[in-house]
Every structure is written in C-alpha cells, then in structure tokens.
C-alpha cells in the first residue's frame, strides 16, 4: 500500500470535495494490484471530520487501469501516430510541392500547431482520466465534440481495416516462388496487359504517366486480381463482397478484438498540404491521444511524451521519404523515364509501384513479405488506436459498457466488420475513396478547432496550465499557452476554411463520381459535425434556471456548478477571457 498525503491545491479538480469545515488532513490511499498483467489503481479521499461527496453526489473513488510500463504507452502512441500516411502520403507531397521547400511550412506547422495540440490532448486525457466524451465535464456544452470524434474514429475504422486486409492478402500472395504480379498471362489479366520488359518512355502517351498506366502486371493484379474493379461500372454497381478479401477482413477484425478486449494493457496549396499533413500525421483530434493518456499515472510527464512521440513521427516520415524515392528513382531509371512519371501517392504507391519494384529484386519473395508485414503493423497499430478511442470514449460515458467491455469490444469490432464489407465488393474502392475524403476530412479539422476553443477559451488556458502544474510540478511556458489560445485556433480555422473552399468533386482515376455521391459524402461529414451544435442545444434545454443560469451551467465545469447558484461564474468575468 502506498500512502500519499496531498495538500489541498494538489487535489484533482475533476471531482474535488465540496468545501467543508475540515482540517487539511485529506489522505489519498492508492491501492495497486496486478491482475493478468494489468495494474488497477483505487484511491479515496477521506477528510478527518466528515466525508463530503463530490459534485452532484458523485464519489471521488477511482478504479481505472493504468499502463503497466511507460514504454507501453509510448509505443502505443507512436504506433498510432506512425501510420500508412507516413509511407504513402508524406513523400509524394514533399516531391509535388518542391521537395525541400515543402519542409519549411511542414516544420512551421509542426511547431505552431501540431505539437501544441498533441501536448494539449495528452495533458487533457491524463489529468481528467476520461475518454473523449466525458473529458468535457470541464465544459459540458462541448461534449458534442467528444461524440463527434468518436463517430469519426468509427467511420475511419470502416475503411481503414480494409486497407489492412489488402495488405494481408498481398502478404499471403507473396508466399510463392514467383510473385503473381511479375508477369502477364494470369487468369485476371486482360488482353491489353503488357510485360514490363516491353515498357519504356516511348510506350506511353505524353499525357499518361507510368503511375497511371492500368495495363502493367502489377496494376492489373491490384485492380483486377484483388479488387475486381473491372466487374463494377461505378459506385452505383457495387456487387457482392469478395470472399478472399472478406476472409482477410475477418482475420484483421479478430486481431483487433483480441488486442483490445482486455484494455490498454494488452502556393497557398503548398501551405494547405503541409498543414493537413502534419495534422493527420500526428493524429490529434481522433480521441485516441485522450483515450491513451487517460490511462497514465497522474504525475506522468506528458510534456516529454509529446515532444518525443511527435519527433519520432516526423523523423519516420523523413526516413520513409528516402526509402520511397530510392525505389521511385530505381523504377524511373529502369524504364528510362522521368521520376515524375512514376511518382504517386496512396494505394497506387504501396500496392502497385512498390510491389512491382520489389518483384524485380533478387530474393523478391522475401522482400515482398517484409514489406507487407510492415504495412500490416503500421495499419493495425493505428486501427487499434482508433477503436480504443471509440471503446474508451463510450464506456467512460455509459458505465454498463465498461462493465461489459469484452462484449462491447466484440460488438464494436463486429459492427466495423459489417460496414467494411461494403468496401470489399467489386466497386468497394469507390466507397472507400468516398469515406477517405469525407469521413475524416473537414469534419476532424472542425472538431479539433472546437476542441481547442473549448479548452483554451471556455475552460481557460490559465486553468489548464494549473492542471498541468498539478501533474508535473511546473506550468507550460508562455509559448505553449500562446499557441493554445491564439495560434492553434487560428491555424485550425484557416485549414478548415481552406479545405472547404478548395474541395472538389470526387474522382478515382478516370472515373468521376455522380453528384449524389458527393452529396452523400458531405452527409457523412455533417453527421459527425452536427453532434457539436445539437448537443449544445440539448445541454442548454436540459438544465434548469434562467437563461443566464443555463448558459452558466453549460460552460462551467461540473464540479463548480454550485458556484452558479452563488452567482460566482468565472466565465462571466473579463479576467477569465484575458488570462493567458
């Protein structure tokens, strides 16, 4: 048993005791037990004179699992942040936007927005020890933001698991003496398939690059052998789920379930591209960082964690850039063409260009297996993070889900599997493309903008800094506080507006989506964003009192609601809004 005597100012403001006439002899008893490798922490604050209940009758007892080792947390956060985007998006964006010139806005946005938001989410989750929804007890009117990011994480799981299933299918297909995408003449090849030895720069029309050529063995294997895209006329003609991909998807979902069921232990355009890449790469806003950090010990140094993990993530992007462009350079030299003819991003890079390059190397089977194992580990780590955000966020809000975590985890995994079946049909790539653009595009940017405003302005950046001081013994520097209150919200507002204004109609190669598909995509995006205003309206109507009192209850932390009746509302004072 570890006994700590905490002074009054060190008590968590998440659920402090009401003011009582007691001596300052509060004692926190921390009972740590180890069960199946998971550490559980139970603590109770006991005044000497009388026991006072928390706000609204809640208890100050805490029973929440924590990471057994610090390295478990760090690897989980790094595993979530370092994902497929580091491999297939960053190198291409860097090339498309001028190479080294792209690094200037990239590093700038990393410093002024990416890292501050990363730090903010880690501290927010660790201090409050809650998931993405219930963490908003600090400012109840913003709880809709939590639901929004949970829905977004769920949407991403619908299609992200399919990409992992593709990787698993490729891994299985690689276990042959000769890789199946090396030559034409297979059952899936068309009569237009052209063997690579017959390909050179003169083979292509000047308006068609090698990356867009659909008649290479690697390209036909991906689109005809794996996706069966030739059997679909468009998004309105999906067909039935492919058996092979469905089985791969089942394996992926089972891996996720058994990993999670026990808990955590187990031009202007250049600037827009740089801003969105650093944001998506770090992974802020999906509720994952809040969920993971909520299982940290209270005094964990999340500041150091934020610096370390964001640095590792960006360094990984740089390293992957060297690896990717060494392969693209090899392909360009092999076919005697400019590198811009083979440069591409997304699935075309990792499932067409890279596999084709691997197939020409000595020991190609071995290298293909290693490559697709890498894709699997990158994808599964990130998918686990997204699913954990959903599970933690909802189980913290609805306690019966926490009591039945195994069943709830299974239901979540099975639900994502059922929705993902749409993406493994003949035309599933069209659905995946739609979800990839709209499910976590403008909507996630909007959610984090509101999150930054809620924490820095309504809860108060000064109070948030005091929370961090309680955990780590020091306040964040002026730089961080300025970024949280001014720079990051302005940055996010800029990116939200830019992503909306520059949004164009959906396309997949030469296929142009019908107008109704774009409307459906915006409907998907709005379905998560609308949680923010709808919950705010619900919260306002559900509390009692005058108009002013309702506003006060909505923007005052739950443990300070008694101050509303006293007329002592911090947010109604100018000092609150001017504080830094």
Binding site: what residues are annotated?
79, 81-82, 86, 281, 313, 378, 381-382
User: Which segments are annotated as binding site for Na(+)?
Assistant: 79, 81-82, 86, 281, 313, 378, 381-382
Report residue 283 CA to chain centroid gap: 4
Q: Is 563 within 8 Å of 569 (Cβ atoms)?
A: yes
Residue 243's CB: how many other CB atoms inside 10 A?
9
Give alpha helix (H) positions in 343-460: 347-348, 354-359, 364-397, 399-403, 405-420, 428-438, 442-453
Q: How far apart are CA 210 and CA 187, in angstroms?
A: 23
Q: Is 527 within 8 Å of 151 (Cβ atoms)?
A: yes
What length is written for the chain?
580
> What are all long-range contacts of 140-143, with beta carbons under 8 Å and residues at least 24 apart?
140/539, 140/553, 140/554, 140/555, 140/556, 140/558, 141/458, 141/535, 141/536, 141/539, 141/540, 141/554, 141/555, 142/450, 142/451, 142/454, 142/458, 142/532, 142/536, 143/535, 143/539
Please report, for residues 16, 256, 387, 479, the alpha-carbon distance to residue 263 in angstroms, rounded to integers and kept in the order given: 27, 11, 11, 35
Residue 139: name the closest of 456, 402, 488, 414 by CA: 456
Residue 292: name the closest of 14, 455, 555, 73 by CA: 73
Q: How far apart are CA 312 and CA 319, in angstroms?
A: 10
Report strand pairing: 38-46 vs 27-35.
antiparallel
Query: Which single residue is written with the structure tokens 């595009």?
Result: 441
Query: Which single residue is written with the structure tokens 């006060």?
Result: 552
Q: Is 182 within 8 Å of 220 (Cβ atoms)?
A: no
Residue 189's CB: how many other CB atoms inside 10 A?
18
- Show the tokens assigned to 575: 């000092």
């Amino acid at each position: 048993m570890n006994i700590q005597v905490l002074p009054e100012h060190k008590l968590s403001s998440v659920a402090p005791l009401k003011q009582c006439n007691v001596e300052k002899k509060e004692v926190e008893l921390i009972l740590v037990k180890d069960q199946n490798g998971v550490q559980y922490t139970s603590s109770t604050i006991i005044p000497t004179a009388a026991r006072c209940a928390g706000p609204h009758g809640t208890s100050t007892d805490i029973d929440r699992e924590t990471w057994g080792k610090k390295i478990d947390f760090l690897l989980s956060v790094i595993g979530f942040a370092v994902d497929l985007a580091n491999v297939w998006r960053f190198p291409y964006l860097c090339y498309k936007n001028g190479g080294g010139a792209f690094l200037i806005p990239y590093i700038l946005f990393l410093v002024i927005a990416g890292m501050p938001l990363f730090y903010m989410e880690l501290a927010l989750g660790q201090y409050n020890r809650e998931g993405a929804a219930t963490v908003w007890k600090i400012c109840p009117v913003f709880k809709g933001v939590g639901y929004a990011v949970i829905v977004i994480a769920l949407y991403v799981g619908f299609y992200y698991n399919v990409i992992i299933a593709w990787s698993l299918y490729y891994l299985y297909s690689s276990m042959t003496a000769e890789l199946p995408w090396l030559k034409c003449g297979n059952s899936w090849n068309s009569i237009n398939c052209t063997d690579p030895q017959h390909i050179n720069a003169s083979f292509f029309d000047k308006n068609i690059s090698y990356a867009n050529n659909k008649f290479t063995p690697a390209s036909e294997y991906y689109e005809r052998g794996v996706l069966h895209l030739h059997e679909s006329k468009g998004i309105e003609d999906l067909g039935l789920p492919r058996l092979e991909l469905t089985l791969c998807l089942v394996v992926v979902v089972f891996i996720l379930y058994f990993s999670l069921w026990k808990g955590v232990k187990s031009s202007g355009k250049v600037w827009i591209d740089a801003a969105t890449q650093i944001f998506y790469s770090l992974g802020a806003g999906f509720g994952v960082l809040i969920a993971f950090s909520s299982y940290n010990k209270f005094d964990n140094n999340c500041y150091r964690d934020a610096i370390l993990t964001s640095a590792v993530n960006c360094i990984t992007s740089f390293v992957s850039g060297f690896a990717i462009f060494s392969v693209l350079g090899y392909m360009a030299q092999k076919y005697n063409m400019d590198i811009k003819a083979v440069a591409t991003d997304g699935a075309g890079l990792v499932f067409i260009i890279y596999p084709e390059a691997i197939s020409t190397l000595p020991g190609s089977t071995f290298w293909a297996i290693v490559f697709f194992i890498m894709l699997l580990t990158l994808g599964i780590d990130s998918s686990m993070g997204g699913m954990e955000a959903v599970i933690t966020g909802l189980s913290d809000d609805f306690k019966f889900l926490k009591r039945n975590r195994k069943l709830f985890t299974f239901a979540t995994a099975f639900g994502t599997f059922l929705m993902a079946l749409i993406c493994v049909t003949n035309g599933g790539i069209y659905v995946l493309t739609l979800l990839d653009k709209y499910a976590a595009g403008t909507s996630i940017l909007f959610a984090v903008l509101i999150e930054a405003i809620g924490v820095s302005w309504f809860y108060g950046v000064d109070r948030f800094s005091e929370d961090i001081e309680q955990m780590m013994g020091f306040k964040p520097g002026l730089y961080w506080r300025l970024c949280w209150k001014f720079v990051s919200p302005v940055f996010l507002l800029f990116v939200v507006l830019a992503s909306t204004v520059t949004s164009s109609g959906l396309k997949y190669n030469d296929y142009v989506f019908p107008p109704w598909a774009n409307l459906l995509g915006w409907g998907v995006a709005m379905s998560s964003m609308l949680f923010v205003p709808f919950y705010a309206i619900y919260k306002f109507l559900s509390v009692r009192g005058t108009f002013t009192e309702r506003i006060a209850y909505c923007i005052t932390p739950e443990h300070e609601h008694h101050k509303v009746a006293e007329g002592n509302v911090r947010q109604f004072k100018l000092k609150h809004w001017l504080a830094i």
